[in-house]
């Protein structure tokens, strides 16, 4: 059985709690409104710690992807799609594309968030909007 080994930190705990509730949240600078991911102590490019989590639409566009055919460990099912999704609020998320044949994934594909439970962790993933 695959163990994810995710231990939420003080900075990421709210992200993981929201995912468990099937909500996608993202850090946003309270001064500029800039969204960023992953969560960091300071807003990227600044020394500001003035940020908070906000709800994300969970909709985005695949900007790049690869289909993994060779599992990194025996407990991974292959093939699977690893992609970068440009989320509509202006942040990028490295994620899996699920709910479709890997050959159907394409750059520019519109996707929406979905959630997968592995062990005791809920992971945000994305699926094609055409596959509700």
Predicted confidence (pLDDT) per residue in 87-111, tens digit: 999 999 999 999 999 999 999 999 9
Residues in the chain: 132
Q: Report the C-alpha gap between 53 and 64 in whole angstroms.
A: 26
pLDDT number for residue 132: 47
105, 54 contact by CB (below 8 A): no
pLDDT number for residue 77: 87
3-state secondary structure of 15: helix
Please state the domain extents for the chain: 13-128
* pLDDT < 50 positions in the chain: 1, 132
Q: Report the C-alpha gap between 55 and 73 in whole angstroms.
A: 34
126, 111 contact by CB (below 8 A): yes
């Amino acid at each position: 059985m695959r163990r994810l080994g995710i231990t939420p930190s003080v900075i990421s705990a709210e992200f993981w709690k929201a995912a468990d509730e099937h909500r996608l949240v993202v850090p946003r600078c309270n001064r500029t409104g800039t969204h960023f991911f992953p969560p960091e102590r300071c807003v990227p490019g600044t020394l500001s710690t003035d940020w908070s989590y906000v709800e994300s639409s969970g909709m985005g566009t695949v900007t790049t992807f690869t289909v993994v055919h060779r599992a990194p460990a025996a407990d991974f099912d292959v093939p699977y799609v690893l992609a970068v999704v440009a989320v509509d609020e202006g942040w990028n998320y490295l994620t899996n594309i699920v709910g479709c044949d890997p050959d159907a994934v394409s750059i520019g594909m519109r996707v929406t968030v979905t959630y997968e439970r592995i062990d005791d962790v809920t992971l945000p993933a994305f699926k094609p909007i055409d596959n509700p």
